[in-house]
Amino acid sequence: MRLVSSTALIALSTCIAPMPVTTFAQARTPLPAAPAVLEEIVVTAQRREETLQESSLSIQVLSGEELAQAGVAHSSDLNRLIPGIQVAGGGNAAQIYIRGVGDFAASPLSNPAVAVNLDGVYISRPQGVNGSFYDLARLEVLRGPQGTLYGRNASGGALNLITNRPSLEAVNGYVSVGIGNYDLVHAQGAVNVPLGNTLAVRAAANVIERDGYLSDDSNDEDTKAGRVRLLWEPSKSVSLLLNADVAEEKGKGPGYVQLPLPPGTDPWLSGSSDQSNAILASTPPIGFLVAPIGTDTFRDNTFWNVSAELDWDFGPATLTVIPAYRDAEISERNYPAGLRNTIPESTSEQTTLEVRLGNSADELKWVAGAYYYKEDQVAEQQIFQGILQDNTINYVPESESYAAFGEATVSVIDRLRLIAGLRYTEEQRTVSGTIYTNSPASAPPGAPLPFLLETFGGDRTFSETTWKAGVEYDITPDNLLFFTAGTGFKAGGFNQTVPPLDTYEPEELLAYELGSRNRVLDGRMQLNFEVFYWDYEDQQIAHVIFDPLGNINLVTDNAGQATIQGANIELVAAITPSDRIQLFVEYNDTEYDEFTYETAYSIFGAPIFNPASTGCPVGEPFPGETFGTELITIDCSGRELPRAPQWAASAAYEHTFTFGNGSTLGARLSGQYTDARWLNFEYVATERVGANEVFNLDLTYSSPQGNWMVHGFVHNIDDEAVYTGGGEQGFAPPLVYATIGAPRTYGVRLQYAFD
């Protein structure tokens, strides 16, 4: 077991992850000094309201104000707030990893391993996540498989985004305007209006524009979003909530940097720079044949969604019904792994319906329900690497899923409770598609272009039963001990080729969690522990191979089996009414027990495989299924999982100064440590990035009446380069094109609240 560096421990002992602060949108009068007691945090991750300290989930919660003050504009910003989570991007698609479980593919056929839900509605297209980070009540981060209550594609965990609900109490709202370096302009606001004793509406909007962090102005922001929520509450037992939102993302979109970094250059030098392209062209043996990385990236995506939530408490149980429709229109160009990936136009139509019954009593807490999911896509993807590859892939995938689930927590004696849950999922997946090449090198001599390389498609049904079991024991009313075991899975699917490589199986994860939640010192300190052991089977990976028709193709198969184990500790303490500290440390030991896969070696004797493309042992070549092709086996058993730092920690200290007129100044110093990690599974030296220590300073002045505030910030004070993901250039290994976090940013935000 390696220890965190002494420098990191000293730095982290002086700071914490962001702490809850007053929500200015709901405050006008001066507040008295708060007692040195921690507030209770209410969560709904188990489909019922409970305090965080009552939950036996592995969960972390961030308030909406914490997210706003940290400047979270999209999912990748969570890297600097949540230890143990790694968020990168495959183009504009969010790639979310928890403890090494995630998915780095970004095609219409891929599945995430961490489910993202907005107000209880699953977001199927990872591109649709980023425009939702505004007017939030909280974010719930669930670590580990959530197969019983969340189902498919939650094998690594789930992120629940919960927005602010309309209120029947009074007219209120807020307006916030911020500016910063990189020409940042960020405006956000919300208004809540009661329309009588039983009806209220809340409208919110978010506009953010910023120049790009990279030298070619990629990694910019140009997002406009709006949301309307209408609440009808005719009685205390019945409520109906209607939701509609829209988001539009433009600009250049995400960019990549080249690793190793060109000598003497800035870490935020784009992979499209002259220096980077010169290195690409000089990389043996065929780098000069690879098309240079361009500056022509763009993003033009639109998402709109409508949903409803009916809650009816009829005594024995509460009925909840959540129908939803989501629409995505995606058009973008980016350079993941150094290749030009263009989606001229892709559409997704998603329909979901969840119906559940539940009740929470001291003796029995239970929920049971049914779930329906359907997604229809039409997509075109263009992959270009000069004469080496110029393909157009057309997809028409459809997914339809049904599930039934139930979970209960029952008290067997005064302090002892047992947990049991079960979910059955059946999913039918259908796809049809074609691959055309526009390159003479890929088509038969003299064939007209574009040339049809292959037609793929089919349909298949996958079914899975997932379960959860556990025990909770109250040592005292303020001390909970729990043990849970549960399973989750990520759905199987189709590849863009013909049998026998046309499908792959689901991946599965079995997790054991032992934890303790404790409040001590009369509620002034919260101390939580967790120990976890995960058994990860049939991991899905995407890699290049000769497909059955002899074409070089990207396929997903089940190649990995791994063990993930570790522990964490979380401390929150209200030292005085004006001082708080928090510390979170997690140790995560990951290892592939078995991890082998086959890749292309040669065709008609012409070598394809480059030894520089992997850091793992390779076997002897053997004949492929297609005449004239040879394959080779790569064995990465014993390696750590990618994007799974062994140590992760965050810490912070917050002090509030109170002045004679009732105004306050809050000062918060926070920091995060992330250990060295692998960016991808080729395990070449360039995919190994070092440890990072990132520090932030936030100052917030609040008026005596509490109706306006000024927030100043400096984030990433040391201008630390934090690499979040990446992939190897397949034709020019071991060059890697990586995503990178924000450099030093600073600015000021003015917020006015009214009621």
Model pLDDT for residues 533-583, shown as the tens digit of each residue: 999 999 998 888 888 998 888 899 898 899 999 999 999 999 999 999 999
pLDDT of 516 > 50? The answer is yes
| 20-29, 122-131, 168-177, 303-312: segment of lowest average pLDDT | 20-29
Residue among 71, 357, 315, 391 nearest 210 (CA): 71
* 109 Cβ contact partners less than 8 Å away, ≥ 6 residues apart: 395, 397, 431, 493, 494, 495, 496, 556
| DSSP tag of 387 | B
pLDDT at 319 over 70: yes
Residue type, 127: Q
Hey, how many other C-beta atoms are within 10 angstroms of the C-beta on 191?
16
Tokens of 630: 């040879």
Distance CA 636, CA 559 (A): 10
What's the rounded mean pLDDT across residues 207-218? 96
- Distance, in Å, from the CA atom of 652 to the CA atom of 196, rounded to the nearest integer, reads 44
Distance CA 44, CA 506 (A): 28
More confident residue, 321 or 315: 321
List for the chain the helix, strand, coil content (%; round to 5).
Answer: 5, 55, 35
Section 683-699 average pLDDT: 96
Type of residue found at 263 = P
Look over the chain and give the mean of its residue pLDDT values, rounded to a whole number: 91
Which alpha helices (H) appear in 51-183, and where do they start and end? 64-69
List of residues 6+ apart from 738 with CB closer than 8 A: 256, 257, 258, 259, 679, 689, 723, 724, 725, 726
Contacts of 416 (CB under 8 A, 6+ apart): 471, 472, 473, 474
Query: Is-contact 629 550, C-beta < 8 A?
Result: yes
Indicate the pairing of strand 298-299 with strand 59-63: unpaired
| Region 286-296 average pLDDT | 93
**Cβ atoms of residues 429 and 447 within 8 Å:** no
78 in Cβ contact with 94 (< 8 Å): no
Name the band, by pLDDT with cuts 50, 70 and 90, for residue 105.
low
Contact 247, 302 (CB under 8 A): yes
Most confident listed range (44-58, 140-154, 161-175): 161-175
Highest averaged pLDDT of the listed ranges 89-98, 621-630, 670-679: 670-679
Nearest-angstrom CA–CA distance, 106 and 89: 9
Residue 273 identity: S
Q: Which two tokens stand for residue 418?
A: 């047992």
Query: For residue 146, what is the DSSP state?
Result: -
**What is the β-pairing status of strands 199-210 and 221-235?**
antiparallel
Mean pLDDT of 678-688: 95
The amino acid that residue 679 corresponds to is: L
Indicate whether 588 pLDDT > 80: yes
Please check the confidence at residue 5 and state whether its pLDDT lies above 80.
no
Mean pLDDT score, 714-740: 94
> pLDDT category, 216, cuts 50, 70, 90?
very high
Query: How confident is the model at residue 48, as a pLDDT?
Result: 87
Give the C-alpha separation, 490 to 401, whole Å.
13
pLDDT tens-digit map of 238-261: 999 999 999 999 999 999 999 999
Determine phi and psi for 80, rounding to 5 degrees.
-90, 5
CA atoms of 754 and 189, how far apart (whole Å): 11
Place of tokens 């329900």: 369
- Rounded CA-CA distance 452/437 in Å is 7
435-469: pLDDT as tens digits: 999 999 888 888 999 999 999 999 999 999 999 99
**In this structure, what DSSP letter does residue 215 have?**
T
CB atoms within 10 A of CB 260: 11
Please name the residue ranges forming H helices in 570-628. Answer: none
pLDDT at 361 exceeding the cut of 50: yes
Report the pLDDT value the prediction gives residue 223, as an integer from 0 to 100: 95
Q: Report the distance separating Cα 445 and Cα 738, nearest Å.
A: 37
Q: What amino acid occupies position 199?
A: L
Of 295-299, 335-339, 655-659, minimum mean pLDDT range: 335-339
589: how many CB neighbours lie within 10 A of its CB? Answer: 16
Residue 156 near residue 132 (C-beta atoms within 8 A): no
| CA triple 508-510-512, angle to 5 deg | 160
Where does the pLDDT of residue 606 fall: very low under 50, low under 70, confident under 90, or very high at 90 and above? confident
Tell me if 93 sits within 8 A of 127, measured CB to CB.
yes
Encoded tokens for 500? 């026998």
The gap from C-alpha 537 to its chain's centroid, in whole angstroms, comes to 21
For residue 279, pLDDT over 80 is answered with yes
| Residue bearing tokens 């890929």 | 442
Mean pLDDT calculated for residue range 503-518:
95
Percent over 70 (pLDDT), the chain? 95
What's the confidence (pLDDT) of residue 35? 54
DSSP category for residue 618? B
- Predicted confidence (pLDDT) per residue in 454-463, tens digit: 999 999 999 9
Tokens, residue 634 = 């790569």
Instruction: Output the DSSP codes for 302-348.
Output: EEEEEEEEEEEE-SS-EEEEEEEEEEEEEEEEE-GGGSEEEEEEEEE
**Domains within the chain, CATH numbers bracketed:** 6-754 (2.40.170.20)
pLDDT cut 90: percent of the chain above it: 76
CA 189 to CA 177: how far, in whole Å? Answer: 9
